[in-house]
Amino acid sequence: MWIADGWNDYEVIDTSDGEKLERWGDYILVRPDPQVIWKSKKSDKRWKSMNGHYHRSKAGGGEWEFFDLPQEWQISYRELKFNLKPFSFKHTGLFPEQACNWDWFSELIKKAGRPIKVLNLFAYTGGATLSAAAAGASVTHVDASKGMVNWAKENAACSGLSDKPIRWLVDDCVKFVEREIRRGNKYDAIIMDPPSYGRGPKGETWKIEESIFPFIELTMDILSNEPLFYLVNSYTTGLQPAVLTYMLSMTVGRKYGGKVEASEIGLPVSNSGLILPCGASGRYVMP
């Protein structure tokens, strides 16, 4: 398992009965987590003194309950800064477990010894974009949500990266890649964090089980002759690490050689000393 254990401003304090107790900077949140099927004693007093609690509804969805939580605040990871705010369906605008991938590809970019062009698809609020740009890459950031792209721009500004070579695009990721193929544009690395289900700005439908492999195949036509890395993240139950390994091996691995591996990603839990699983990632590295 790849573990995001480099945080100072974020911590999973405890887990129990479908929920996790988290510290985000100076604030304590309780949020649901479907992986937490066990129960603990909840002996940590912060279970009863949280600043925000997302209550999941049995009918689906849910709502936030706040206790002295600001509308927006900020945390840091290494040299990066992220603006946080609670919004729809329990999210805060950041997935801390992805830091294990940020560290991995940042080192590859720094050691590449050549200019690296990165394409970040389904790029959300820009954690991977900022990490790649800070490491020295030029980045194209693509997401179908204008709000998420603007949020990512704010994070870049807070991190002192506004002057870095980052293209910010609000677009359907599949349509964008199709246009890049026609334009003849190439990238040395691709990052994608596809949703289980989604719609593009013009109503385009994305269902990950049907769409992900053809999309990875499509992106082979925009990879440069010497791709540095390829990263696919999955929070969908059916896309286990072995599935990610298989897909990358049949596409980028078959075309370029190199190494493919995949693993669960996770976060350390302070009170138990155990690891909370948080999805899976598949990685390709050039030979």
Here the tokens at position 183 are: 């334009």
Is residue 111 situated within a structural domain? Answer: yes
> 139-160 pLDDT, tens per residue?
999 999 999 999 999 999 999 9
Q: How far apart are the C-alpha atoms of 210 and 189, rounded to whole Å?
A: 23
Q: Which domain holds residue 59?
A: 2-71
Q: What are the φ/ψ torsions at residue 53 (nearest 5 degrees)?
A: -140, 120
Flag whether pLDDT at 187 surpasses 80.
yes
What CATH number corresponds to the domain at position 104?
3.40.50.150
Q: Tens digits of per-residue pLDDT, 248-274?
A: 999 999 999 999 999 999 999 999 999
Is 169 domain-assigned?
yes
The answer to whether the CB of 18 falls within 8 A of the CB of 281 is no
What is the CA angle 159-164-170, rounded to 5? 90
Residues 139 and 268 in one domain: yes
For residue 59, the model assigns a pLDDT of 76
The answer on 239 and 145 residing in a single domain is yes
* Total-model pTM: 0.94
Question: What's the pLDDT tens digit per position in 214-255?
Answer: 999 999 999 999 999 999 999 887 789 999 999 999 999 999
Secondary structure of 56-75 in HEC code, one letter for each residue: ECCCCCEEEEECCCCCCEEE
Is residue 233 domain-resident?
yes
pLDDT of residue 202: 66
Spell out the residues 6+ positions from residue 283 whose beta carbon is closer than 8 angstroms to its own: 101, 104, 229, 230, 231, 248, 260, 261, 262
Q: pLDDT at residue 198 above 90?
A: no
Q: Is residue 112 part of a domain?
A: yes
Residues 212 and 177 in one domain: yes
Is 39 in the same domain as 105? no
Reply yes or no on whether the pLDDT at 108 is more than 70: yes
Average pLDDT over residues 124-128: 96
Q: What is the CA radius of gyration of the chain?
A: 19
255, 218: one domain: yes
Domain membership of residue 10 (yes or no) is yes
Same domain, 45 and 119: no
Among 71, 87, 105, the domain-final residue is: 71
